[in-house]
Amino acid sequence: TDTDTFITGLPKAELHLHIEGSLEPEQMFEFARRNRVSIPFATVEDVRAAYQFSNLQDFLDIYYAGADVLRTEEDFRDLAIAYFDRAAADGVVHAEIFFDPQTHTHRGVPFGVVANGLLAGMADAEARHGLTSKLILSFLRHLDEEDAFKTLTQAQPWLDRIEAVGLDSSELGHPPSKFARVFAAAAAMGLKRVAHAGEEGPPAYVHEALDLLGIDRLDHGNRSLEDPALVARLARSGMTLTVCPLSNVKLCNVASIDLHPIDTMLRKGLRATINSDDPAYFGGYVADNFRAVAGGRGLRRDDLVTLARNSFLGAFLPDAAIEAHL
């Protein structure tokens, strides 16, 4: 349709994408075969049928299990290449992608295998599609502070190729305050900071992410809407929210796409963006997310343009590069 063409033709940045969450079932079987790893599924259809979640933890359990097939530098490279090919087809010209090193180092896969594989995929995307990208090292918040510090130490040789640190995994019971010292250390190393907050957790977690982690960008942030003073603060400071509509529905944080608050966020002056989070698990890449809210919320074309513009305004790019994309 016209809207589909308009959406894919709109240059955009993707700012909330977990590379491990782009592992499609077909590739899961391919990596399992070549690495001789067994998986508890017989067919691709069985895998897809298992992707029914009632909350974040349901999803995380199956997402960490899926990541077990990722073993070699080539796996991480091929995973990234497959994501960037799909993103480029959706009109993504810049992507800032999360990776979860602890998911891999805890299975005996060295930090460098992960980082070098992803960096090879990023170079391929720039060469073949002109798609630029950056890496965000995300700490697993269900693990302790000491493990996060250990991960930051392992990252030292790659720090010049890592843009930011992030915070993901099980939100409830693991407030941002748990990682205040880790984020302070990352800031001292010159890294930018982002955090998942207000996905399942209360507005107080968003306040903590702002006050104790010094975040430059807020991942999800949906539950900020429950706190008018917080909304005003986010709007006033021009904070970018990386919103993930299909993820919100799949994880039951929003009852259905036609009840998604994306347009409420825009009307309240929040700098909201549209992202895919874990596209292989949540039923769609970034253009699918734009289409879902365009249809479900009846967004006008100028709203779609605003959402795409916001993605560049929120990107960790030099001002001149942002200007060039607007």
Residues marked as binding for Zn(2+)?
16, 18, 196, 277
Whether residue 195 contacts residue 180, with contact meaning beta carbons closer than 8 Å, is answered with no
Cβ-proximal residues to 198 (8 Å cutoff; 6+ apart), any chain: 205, 206, 218, 220, 221, 222, 223, 224
Residue nearest to ligand HPA (CB): 168
* Among Zn ion, ligand HPA, none, partner that 199 touches (CB below 5 to 8 angstroms by kind): ligand HPA
The least CB distance from residue 196 to Zn ion, in Å, is 6
In angstroms, the CA 20 to CA 29 distance is 14
Distance between first and last Cα of the chain:
25
The number of helices, as runs of H, and strands, as runs of E, in the chain is 17, 8
Among 90, 163, 208, 278, binds ligand HPA (CB under 6 A): 278
Contact 220, 199 (CB under 8 A): yes
- Cα–Cα dist 206/253, whole Å: 16
The nearer residue to Zn ion, 73 or 136, going by C-beta atoms, is 136
- Distance between alpha carbon 104 and the CA centroid of its chain, in Å? 17
Give the shortest CB-235-to-ligand HPA separation in angstroms. 23
Number of residues lying near Zn ion (CB under 5 A):
1
Among Zn ion, ligand HPA, none, residue 169 binds (CB under 5-8 Å by kind): ligand HPA
Least distance to Zn ion, CB of residue 219, Å: 6
Of residues 24 and 199, the one with the C-beta less far from ligand HPA:
199
Q: Which residues in the 237-276 window bind ligand HPA by CB under 6 A?
A: 247
Structural contact between residues 199 and 229, judged by C-beta atoms closer than 8 angstroms: no
224 contact choice in ligand HPA, Zn ion, none (CB below 5 to 8 Å, kind-dependent): none
Nearer to Zn ion, 203 or 221 (CB): 221
Task: Give the closest residue to 202 by CA, choosing from 224, 177, 169, 235.
Answer: 224
In the complex with ligand HPA, the residue whose CB is nearer, 75 or 199, is 199
91 close to 11: Cβ distance less than 8 angstroms: yes
Q: Which of residues 97-156 bind ligand HPA (CB under 6 A)?
A: none
- What phi, psi does 107 have (nearest 5°)? -100, 5
Exposure string over 295-313, b if 16+ CB within 10 A, otherwise e: ebbebeeebbebbbbbbbb
Known catalytic membership, residue 208: no
Residue 56 contacts ligand HPA per CB under 6 A: yes
- Least distance in angstroms from the C-beta of 21 to ligand HPA: 5
**Exactly one of 163, 199, 200, 208 is catalytic; which is it?**
199
Bridge partners of 274, per DSSP, are 243
CB 299 within 8 A of CB 262: yes
- Contacting residue, 14, 20, 24, 277, with Zn ion by CB under 5 A: 277
At residue 280, what are phi and psi to the nearest 5 degrees?
-70, -25
Q: Which does 24 bind (CB under 5 to 8 A by kind): Zn ion, ligand HPA, none?
A: none
Query: Counting contacts by CB under 6 A, is residue 178 touching ligand HPA?
Result: no
Among 12, 71, 104, 196, binds ligand HPA (CB under 6 A): 196
Q: Which residue, 41 or 63, is less far from Zn ion as judged by CB?
A: 63
Catalytic residue annotation: 199
- Residue ranges in contact with Zn ion by CB under 5 A: 277
- Residue ranges in contact with ligand HPA by CB under 6 A: 18, 21, 56, 168-169, 196, 199, 247, 277-278
